[in-house]
Amino acid sequence: MNALAEAQPHRCATVVGTAAGTVGLAVSVGGLASPLIGRLADATSLRTALAPLVLMPVLSRLLLRTLSEPGPPRPPTGAPAAETGAGSEAGKGGEARPKTSW
């Protein structure tokens, strides 16, 4: 297991779950939109049906800009509070792990 997974096991699981959910959502939306785009192409032309798809990256970028940066992860419910002061790893003479951010 790598150092990052050891330092933040709950964080790694969350990132993997988020990635899987995002890909699943994209595949589902694509599967739902394909018949609608095909029906529109049959009724008009392929160029007319695919033209709105060119604007999707622009729309996605505009929506992305409205999102805020997430805060630091909260400890799981029922987890003991982090040790600070003399009882921490740094106080025991152990190596302090560098903080990583995603």
Helices (H), 1-102: 3-7, 9-43, 46-54, 56-65
Reference 29, options 67, 65, 56; nearest CA is: 56
User: What are the extents of the domains in the chain?
Assistant: 10-63
Per-10-residue mean pLDDT, the chain, length 102 = 55 69 86 92 93 88 88 74 52 55 60
Enter the pTM of the model: 0.45
